Amino acid sequence: MYRFVRLVWLGALVSLYLAGSAQAACPQADLNGDCRVDLFDLQILAGQWLYPAESATDLNSRDGVNLADFALFAEQYLEEGIPLVINELMAANSSIARDPQGQYDDWLEIHNYGAAVINVAGCYLTDDLAVPTKWRIPDNNPAATIIGPGRYLLIWADGDIADAGLHAGFKLDADGEQIALFDRDGMTLIHSAAFPDQTADISFGCFPDASDNWRFFPVPTPGAANNEAYLGEVEAVQVSHERGFYESPFSVTLATETEGAAIYYTLDGSEPFDLARGGRFPAGNVYTGPIAISQTTCLRAKAIKTGW
């Protein structure tokens, strides 16, 4: 006679035209972040004279801030780049923002962090860097493609290019991919962004705006400044046994690769770490060691880390 034990587990959860007017990348000597090398940057460089090599003003990355860095600065004086970034995106929009057709489609946001108005008409967006001209931003509606200084442009990534509004000719992959913005020549890369697996209704973007620091956002802000960023995303809970039928009792171990994360679990199918149900304390048990399974059990587990 066999005794079958079933294990079920569920996981957690005026315009500046671009081509020919500037280089794509911001110059190295742009020290104040406006994508132009001018007197403001010179003031910063002079103010950090003889600073150590770790300083951003040590332009040649050796011997600290000295005359060699002033020489490099002089070479780049009045150079400017294109101050545009893909600033935020959502590849799994289920209830956050509706497009003009009332649909919850994926979206991405372009941010102009410069001091001049920029018209992105004629530029290209792609989710395949081998095909940089995959979708051309329309040039027949300047009111829809002009981005003021410090402002944002929202583009729907749903493949429905015939719909009213700006709709890219591709969709975002919630499993992660790379997207890029190219200049009108179809060759000059302005900015690119790679993103990992995405969670429904959680956006991913620069924090702060236009930085190289990418974070997840519990409160997405399409068309506005990014804020309230998560510090990171907790890795999924790893379970020692697959769901299924077993002939004898056993013990289940749980783990996550995120250092410092706590694992909460339940054995009755309820949501672990449910603050509404748990009252003063989160619902579920804190995992401290192997869990004995001797009868049909619905095991649910969630890894939690403060600020993540």
DSSP for the chain reads ----EEEEEE-----B--TTTS-SSPPTT--SSSSB-SHHHHHHHHHTTT--TTSTT-TTSSSSSSHHHHHHHHHHTT-B---EEEEEEES--SSS---TTS----EEEEEE-SSS-EE-TT-EEES-TTSTTSEEPPSS-HHHHEE-TT-EEEEEEBS-TTSSS-EESSB--TT-EEEEEE-TTSS-EEEEEEE----TT-EEEESSTTSS-EEEESS--TTS---S--S--PPPPEESS-SEEESS-EEE-EE-SSTT-EEEEESBSPPTT-HHHHTTS-SSEE--S-EEE-S-EEEEEEEE-TT-
Per-residue pLDDT band for 23 (boundaries 50, 70, 90) equals low
Q: Evaluate if residue 10 carries a pLDDT over 50.
A: no
The answer to whether 188 and 122 are in contact (CB under 8 A) is no
Residue 19, burial from CB neighbour count under 10 angstroms (0-12, 13-18, 19+): middle
The residue with greater pLDDT, 295 or 14, is 295
Residue 4's pLDDT is what?
Answer: 40
Residue 279's pLDDT is what?
Answer: 63
What is the CATH topology of the domain spanning 26-80? Answer: Type 1 dockerin domain (1.10.1330)
Mean pLDDT score of the chain, rounded to an integer?
A: 89
Tokens describing residue 139: 């040039």
The residue-averaged pLDDT of 77-96 equals 94
The residue-averaged pLDDT of 212-220 equals 94
The residue-averaged pLDDT of 158-168 equals 94
Q: Which of 32-41, 75-84, 266-275, 277-286 has the lowest mean pLDDT?
A: 277-286
Q: Which of 56-60, 82-86, 128-132, 235-239 has the lowest mean pLDDT?
A: 56-60
Separation of alpha carbons 168 and 152, rounded Å: 16
Separation of alpha carbons 223 and 32, rounded Å: 24
Q: Evaluate if residue 177 carries a pLDDT over 80.
A: yes
Q: Evaluate if residue 15 carries a pLDDT over 50.
A: no
Q: The domain 84-217 is classified under which CATH number: 3.30.70, 2.60.120, 2.60.40, 1.10.287?
A: 2.60.40
CATH 2.60.40 placement within the chain:
84-217
The residue with greater pLDDT, 214 or 15, is 214
**Nearby residues of 226 by Cβ (< 8 Å), 6 or more positions away:** 87, 88, 205, 206, 207, 208, 209, 215, 217
Separation of alpha carbons 155 and 168, rounded Å: 7
The residue-averaged pLDDT of 83-97 equals 96
Residue 65 CB neighbours (<10 A) = 22
Q: Which of 12-21, 183-192, 235-244, 290-299 has the lowest mean pLDDT?
A: 12-21
Q: Evaluate if residue 204 carries a pLDDT over 70.
A: yes
Quote the distance between the C-alpha of residue 13 and its chain's center.
18
CATH 1.10.1330.10 placement within the chain:
26-80
Instruction: For residue 290, give the amino acid letter.
Output: P
pLDDT 10s digits, 273-304 = 987 765 677 889 999 999 999 999 999 999 99
Separation of alpha carbons 195 and 175, rounded Å: 9
**Nearby residues of 9 by Cβ (< 8 Å), 6 or more positions away:** 239, 243, 298, 299, 300, 301
Residue 278's pLDDT is what?
Answer: 56
Burial 213-243 (b: 16+ CB within 10 A, else e): ebbbbeebbbeeebeebbeebbebbebeeee
Most trustworthy range by pLDDT among 132-136, 208-212, 268-272? 132-136
Separation of alpha carbons 18 and 81, rounded Å: 9
